């Protein structure tokens, strides 16, 4: 594995700025690590060496010219393969977009360019970000770096595994129902889902528009704060991006003590279905927070039990609509082009989409159908409001809420893939956060008996990222659970 990864992204950036390391050297090292490790991990769909080296050259040129580098310049980053990098394929790990080359940059990608952050490759995901294990990719099964027989979580499994295995220092994923926090938990990395609208969605291929949010992975909280600093901000191209958010310095408050912070642990998430080791780790984390001077008390969010049902109606409804554009007419694969238009549609979509995507399109189409709309979509929206209110009420009493990220640690590849409902249930702790549009972070809080990482989830109110990061940073300092990489990989 890459030795530089022990230091983290910011430390590396500072060494580049100081002239101790050139960006080119860092990149050479990164690609060497990828070549060594990725045949086992399979985190990447493709590498973007040309783009990365061009960026690294810019960095080194700037250093030579004595310029001050922008934040994180020169630090290699992996991009989930549903975020556009102009001139490079965006496949969404789907056959239907297997050869689709992005004609423009995502807004976040433009920000990465402005910060001279080399994108080294596009990472694997569950097809169109639909899944919790990255097994739904049409191309490859990404492995969990801590145990290659296990899943990395999903849907941003490739981005999580790339950081956990030390192939890159930071990466971007997208979190619709936990697609960044859950793989972060399963891979022992940090993953932050920002407030809905804090990061532009322009150039992120939509799964469920009202829930999707581009979200970073890193090996420690400080690096996460730095990436958030780079990618956040209002975007005129995204009508749902938040306007008038005062500029924040997410790095500034990281070291502040959290004494007196009121933390509520969500009782519903510590009950049924939680693995004993995970439960123990969460309870231990609560004690850690108390030792840091926080007040930890129970809080109930009674409508949480309807979250999964509500989520799978809203997310699939939006997905069924967002994925209608893959019809073979303008781009993407096209089958049976010599037949009539209906045959072309049917063949293109039947062959182009995988089972899980088709399942969700059908669910969503059904719940929006005339006669069913009120009973399903309409009701799901009402439940969404109830859940949002539950959180609001809780935040009247507490600064932050706490719970597990995932009820279990990483499961075996193939273990749940035959039972979609069981797979859906594993998102119970993360989904409510997307429904409410609020921020949450997953940080490592220990290991189970098989030495698989366990994730702790901290949830904050609207735009509370600074406090979330501050609390996560305090926890991280106290437990030293950061920059975790499986040692076994070093001998691969």
Q: Which residues are catalytic?
A: 80, 155, 179
When the beta carbons of 351 and 369 are compared against another protein, the nearer one is: 369
When the beta carbons of 223 and 235 are compared against another protein, the nearer one is: 235
Look at the chain and count its residues.
492
Distance CA(127)–CA(456), nearest Å, equals 26
Nearest distance in Å: CB 86, another protein = 11
When the beta carbons of 61 and 339 are compared against another protein, the nearer one is: 339
When the beta carbons of 71 and 368 are compared against another protein, the nearer one is: 368
Identify the DSSP state of 417. Answer: T
Nearest distance in Å: CB 331, another protein = 7
Q: What number of other Cβ atoms are within 10 A of residue 339's Cβ?
A: 12
Contact, 198 vs 461, CB < 8 A? no
When the beta carbons of 249 and 373 are compared against another protein, the nearer one is: 373
| Residue pointed to by tokens 């991990």 | 41
Distance CA(427)–CA(416), nearest Å, equals 13
- Phi then psi for residue 92, to 5 deg, are 55, 25
Nearest distance in Å: CB 375, another protein = 14
Distance CA(122)–CA(79), nearest Å, equals 5
Phi/psi zone of residue 467: left (φ > 0), alpha (ψ -120 to 50 degrees), beta? alpha
| Residue pointed to by tokens 């090996």 | 219
**Tokens of residue 59, six digits:** 């960095």
Helix, coil or strand: residue 116? coil
Nearest distance in Å: CB 30, another protein = 26
Nearest distance in Å: CB 202, another protein = 5
When the beta carbons of 68 and 330 are compared against another protein, the nearer one is: 330
| Residue pointed to by tokens 């976040």 | 108
* Interacting residues toward another protein by CB under 8 A: 82-84, 90, 92, 97, 100, 102-104, 106, 201-206, 208-210, 236-240, 317-318, 321, 324-327, 329-331, 341, 345, 365, 368-370, 373, 377
Helix, coil or strand: residue 190? strand
Nearest distance in Å: CB 141, another protein = 23
Q: Where are the alpha helices (DSSP H) in 18-126?
A: 23-41, 49-64, 107-114
């Amino acid at each position: 594995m890459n030795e530089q990864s022990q230091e983290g992204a910011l430390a590396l950036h500072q060494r580049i700025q100081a002239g101790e390391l050139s960006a080119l050297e860092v990149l050479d090292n990164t690609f060497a690590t990828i070549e060594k490790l990725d045949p086992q991990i399979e985190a990447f769909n493709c590498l973007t060496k040309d783009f990365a080296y061009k960026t690294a050259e810019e960095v080194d040129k700037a250093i030579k010219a004595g310029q001050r580098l922008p934040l994180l310049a020169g630090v290699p980053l992996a991009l989930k393969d549903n975020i556009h990098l102009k001139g490079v394929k965006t496949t969404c790990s789907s056959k239907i977009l297997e050869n689709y080359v992005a004609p423009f940059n995502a807004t976040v990608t433009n920000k990465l360019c402005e910060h001279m952050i080399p994108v080294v490759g596009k990472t694997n995901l569950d097809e169109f970000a639909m899944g919790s294990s990255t097994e739904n990719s049409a191309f490859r099964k990404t492995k969990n770096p801590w145990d290659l027989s296990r899943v990395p979580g999903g849907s941003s499994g490739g981005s999580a595994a790339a950081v956990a295995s030390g192939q890159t220092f930071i990466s971007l994923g997208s979190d619709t129902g936990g697609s960044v926090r859950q793989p972060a938990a399963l891979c022992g990395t940090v993953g932050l889902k920002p407030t809905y609208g804090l990061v532009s969605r322009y150039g992120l291929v939509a799964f469920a528009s009202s829930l999707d949010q581009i979200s970073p992975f890193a090996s420690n909280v400080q690096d996460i704060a730095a990436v958030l600093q780079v990618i956040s901000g209002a975007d005129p191209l995204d009508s749902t991006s938040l306007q008038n958010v005062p500029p924040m310095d997410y790095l500034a408050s990281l070291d502040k003590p959290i004494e007196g912070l009121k933390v509520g642990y969500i009782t519903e998430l510590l009950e049924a279905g939680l693995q004993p080791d995970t439960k123990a780790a969460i309870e231990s984390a609560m004690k850690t927070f108390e030792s840091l001077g926080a007040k930890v008390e129970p809080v109930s969010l009674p409508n949480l039990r309807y979250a999964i049902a509500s989520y799978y109606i809203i997310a699939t409804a939006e997905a069924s609509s967002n994925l209608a554009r893959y019809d073979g007419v303008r781009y993407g694969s096209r089958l049976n082009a010599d037949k009539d238009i209906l045959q072309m549609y049917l063949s293109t979509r039947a062959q182009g989409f995988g089972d899980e995507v088709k399942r969700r399109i059908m669910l969503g189409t059904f719940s929006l159908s005339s006669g069913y709309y009120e009973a399903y979509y309409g009701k799901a929206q009402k439940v969404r409001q109830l859940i949002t209110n539950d959180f609001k009420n809780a935040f009247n009493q507490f600064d932050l809420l706490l719970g597990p990220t995932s009820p279990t640690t990483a499961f075996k590849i193939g273990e749940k893939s035959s039972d979609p409902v069981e797979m859906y249930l594993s998102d119970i702790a993360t989904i409510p956060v997307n429904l409410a549009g609020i921020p949450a972070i997953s940080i490592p809080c220990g290991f189970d008996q098989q030495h698989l990482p366990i994730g702790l989830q901290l949830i904050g109110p609207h735009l509370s990222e600074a406090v979330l990061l501050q609390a996560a940073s305090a926890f991280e300092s106290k437990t030293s659970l950061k920059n975790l990489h499986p040692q076994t990989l070093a001998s691969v």
